[in-house]
Amino acid sequence: MTVATLKDVLGSAIAGNYAVAGFVVLGWEDAKAFVDAAEVAGLPVILQAGPGCRKHTPVEILGKMFRHLAEQATIPVVCHIDHARTVAECQIGIESGFTSVMIDGSMLALDANIELVSKVVEMSRPHGISVEGEVGIVGYADGHASLATSPEEAAAFERETGVDALAIAIGNTHLQTEKIAEIDFAALRAIEKVTRVPLVLHGGSGIPVAMRRTLAQQSRVKKFNIGTEVRMAFGKALRQVIVDQPAQFDRIALLSATSPDVQLVAGEIICALGPTKSVG
């Protein structure tokens, strides 16, 4: 049984100078592909149930599915609620077996964000659940604009909430289909100087692979949220299956055929963020 918390895996990542992939899950096939990829790599993975996933499938079902995959794995698997907006959403996640929650109050004023996140931290601590919060706003491609994280606000947020991980906005953007994000390293260093917890970059798909690798090895960014990149791999694989097997109509057969491609891409992401392997 290797069910882990965010605090567990990110603490090890800091010690080992690497980072962990947090994959956005939409169903059984991709969740299993992510865990299988992590097994092959021998590295931890974070399974994330975001708002879209939770809208499609009840949280109680997702909790059982994530825990089942984690309990069968030989590597640490974090069962994570992503972008919850209310204490109630986090409570349901905890009751459903999740080991980590991200409470997103980034659209609120700082004081209100701190108040919201503090309630979730207080609720989570007795259960050993990790909590991630966000300061600044990570925007969306062709959507809501970003607001860069203020180092002063990040320091106050960490100090007053006691979060285990802090998501920041330093040039990263959700839902980018091309790797064009320009990370502000000066802003990152300023935030690192006044905080101590592991940092998180949402919108990891839009960050160039080499830059992700550099950040993993040379900064306190220890969690990268990845969704668009693996969804694009899924979509490409599914379209190819339909072309190659025009008579196929079985849902399980069609979706299962995409798993090797999704696992391959996920494995590349995991390994690129992982620790440098010694030679010889």
DSSP 206: G
Q: What is the pLDDT of residues 155-214, one digit of tens each?
A: 999 999 999 999 999 989 888 888 988 999 999 999 999 999 999 999 999 999 999 999
| Range of lowest pLDDT (137-141, 221-225, 235-239) | 137-141
Amino acid at 258: T
Residue 1 pLDDT:
56
* Residue positions annotated with a catalytic role: 82
Q: What is the pLDDT of residues 244-254, one digit of tens each?
A: 999 999 999 99
Q: How would residue 278 be classed by pLDDT, with cut points 50, 70 and 90?
A: very low
223 beta partners:
20, 200
pLDDT of 103 strictly over 50: yes
User: What sign for the dihedral angle of Cα 165, 170, 176, 178?
Assistant: negative
Mean pLDDT on 225-245: 96
Whole-angstrom distance, CA of residue 277 vs CA of residue 280: 10
pLDDT of 217 strictly over 50: yes
> Mean pLDDT over all residues of the chain?
95
Whole-angstrom distance, CA of residue 181 vs CA of residue 214: 14
- What is the enclosing helix (H) or strand (E) of 27? none
Mean pLDDT on 268-278: 87
Torsion of CA 8, 119, 64, 204, to 10 degrees: -60
pLDDT of 98 strictly over 50: yes
Whole-angstrom distance, CA of residue 75 vs CA of residue 280: 24
User: What sign for the dihedral angle of Cα 268, 44, 94, 105?
Assistant: negative
Give the residue among 12, 14, 80 at the shortest CA–CA distance from 44.
12
Q: What is the pLDDT of residues 45-54, one digit of tens each?
A: 999 999 999 9
The single residue listed with the structure tokens 């790599």 is 41
Q: Around Cβ 35, how many Cβ atoms within 10 Å?
A: 24
CA distances to 25, 168, 228 from 190, in Å: 32, 12, 29
Query: Looking at 168-239, which runs of residues are DSSP E strands?
Result: 199-201, 221-226
Architecture per CATH, domain 3-227+262-273, reads as Alpha-Beta Barrel (3.20)
3-class SS of residue 255: helix
Residue 147 pLDDT:
80
DSSP 177: S
pLDDT of 280 strictly over 70: no
